[in-house]
Amino acid sequence: MSRLGVSFTDPTLEARVLAGVEQVEVQLAAAVDSPEKFVAEAAAHLLNAGGKRFRPLLVMLSAEFGESANPDVVRSAVVVELTHLATLYHDDVMDEADKRRGAPSANARWDNSVAILVGDYLFAQASDLVSDLGPDAVRIQARTFSRLVQGQIRETLGPSEDDDALAHYLSVVADKTGSLIATAALFGAKMAGASVDVQETLSEFGERIGAAFQLSDDIIDIASETGDSGKTPGTDLREGVPTLPTLIALRSTDAGSERLRSLLAKPLTDDSELDEAIRLLRLHPAMTEARTYVQAEADAASALLAKLPDVPARAALQALCDTVATRLG
């Protein structure tokens, strides 16, 4: 397993992808810079806090199905990661988060207004860079941005009385997470000059594997004793945040689930109630159903890879699918 979080069986491919991601880091630092000292400091805040760079990794791997050396590949990865960073600044304001990647969030270090404006600045920088990649890239970025915002709006408003809560949640995950990861895969293939069929396949792959990773975090939040998702187990339960297992459990109608449903219907600020909810949820069939759903998404992503040329990058993308199963335990 490389430091990028994916297994490589081809050392030449690994070296090429690592070199590409390192170029992305250099260009990211330049993109967030500003003559205004405070803007530069605030914009680099989350960048300097680190991150897995999953999206640039996917750009680089997808570019392997074409001419990966095209400099537009790295530029498109910078656009995607800038967009992702911008959403983090805004998300932390929406969630009133105190921490991000182990560091104080921008809204905690400064205030909400600064965090929102810095997020806007990063979106603007991404828009500036994508304009150099041509009108198709601009259109893709705009449509992705639209999905990101609509997903956040729907999450903020919550499901209406006529909505199915689980379907609503899955649509939010698709828009807030899947859309940008799909764009990462699409940009990589497109900038490398891969065929339209390959572009479409990789875009769908990105959407599915992105959702699978996000939803697997939901399961880890309940099942893990150590906080593998980077959060204390039960964090979402404590805050009353809907997740895949909890929404499935809330749909159950058997009498034996009545106590669990009553606990899940509210934020669990009491430690004893939180512990009880975690214990009951771990034993509930909802956990198995949630794992089955996420595994099905990973399997669907894996099946798409069979449509792609058999190059070393395909095996690396398959490893991402296999990692989902490992995370599910």
| pLDDT reading at 16 higher than 90 | yes
Q: H/E element holding 149?
A: helix 135-157
pLDDT given for residue 1 in this prediction: 46
| Residue 64: both structure tokens together | 């392997």
pLDDT > 90 fraction of the chain, expressed in percent and rounded? 61
Block residue for tokens 């806090």: 49
Segment 221-230 mean pLDDT = 67
Identify the residue with better confidence: 81 or 2: 81
Nearest CA among 302, 67, 20, 63 for reference residue 184? 63
Mean pLDDT, rounded, for 196-224? 94
Give the predicted TM-score (pTM) of the model: 0.91
Helix (H) or strand (E) holding 159: none
Query: Mean pLDDT across the chain, nearest whole number?
Result: 88
Q: What is the pLDDT of residue 234?
A: 80
209-226: average pLDDT = 88
Residue % of the chain over a pLDDT of 70: 92
The token pair that represents 316 in the structure block = 């690396």
The DSSP result for 44-101, as a single string, is THHHHT----HHHHHHHHHHTTS-TT-HHHHHHHHHHHHHHHHHHHHHHHHHT-SEET
Residues 86-116: pLDDT tens digits? 888 777 777 666 666 567 677 776 777 887 8
- Compute the C-alpha angle 8/12/14, nearest 5°: 40
Average pLDDT over every residue of 31-42: 85
| Domains defined along the chain, listed by start | 10-194 (1.10.600.10), 195-328 (1.10.600.10)
**pLDDT for residue 96:** 66
Q: 218: burial class by Cβ within 10 Å (0-12, 13-18, 19+)?
A: buried
Residue 226 scores a pLDDT above 80: no
Distance (Å, whole) CA 182 – CA 62: 11
pLDDT of amino acid 180:
97
Residue 231 has pLDDT above 70, yes or no: no
149-176 average pLDDT score? 93
pLDDT for the residue 5: 61
Q: Where does the pLDDT of residue 235 fall: very low under 50, low under 70, confident under 90, or very high at 90 and above?
A: confident
